[in-house]
Amino acid sequence: MSKPIYVLSGPNLNLLGAREPEIYGHQTLEDVQRLCEARASALGREIVFRQSNHEGELIDWIQEAREKAAAIVINPAGYGHTSVAILDALKMVGIPVIECHLSNPAAREAFRHQTYVSLAATGVVSGFGAASYELAVEAAAGLTRPAAK
Ligand code: CA2
């Protein structure tokens, strides 16, 4: 089996489904995890799915992914708009980085239009609710498909 795809979620996403369903949908982060696991499994891949409210913990996991992961899918949540430290960590990973968002930040308030993470991302998936994560896992799997024997 190839290395897993790390799927990382940032602050407050542990509360997904509990508020603003008109923006973020009704699904919980556990629902999102199940969708990602099913999509990865259908593609013959494994994921490591984690969420943290702490910038440093996310950075520790990004650094861990340098050795242990084939690719990173990350929804940095609010940190995407603020964290140069997460950008710096992502720039050092040397594996594909797919940024994903449940909503489409480009269609929302001006302060959401820029994300630092995009500067290190191979690509971005936004605006499809929980399906953004599934599509991002699929993109990550496609970019890191193990060579056929
Ligand atoms: O659309 C996204 O996925 C975001 O990354 C979500 C962030 C927001 O700051 C970004 O601009 C776009 C906010 C996450 C808040 O977490 C929630 C918690 C409970 C219910 C809904 C969202």
pLDDT by residue for the chain (149 residues), tens digit each?
799 999 999 999 999 998 888 888 889 999 999 999 999 999 999 999 999 999 999 999 999 999 999 999 999 999 999 999 999 999 999 999 999 999 999 999 999 999 999 999 999 999 999 999 999 999 999 999 987 76
Active site residue 101: yes
Q: Report the separation in Å between the CA atom of 56 and the middle of ligand 1, taken as the mean of its atom positions.
A: 19
CATH code of 5-143, in short, is 3.40.50.9100
What are the residue boundaries of the structural domains of the chain, listed by start?
5-143
Active site residue 24: yes
Q: Report the separation in Å between the CA atom of 78 and the middle of ligand 1, taken as the mean of its atom positions.
A: 7
* From 12, 75, 125, mutation site for ligand 1 pocket: most ligand atoms within 8 A of C-beta: 12
DSSP secondary structure letter of residue 148: P
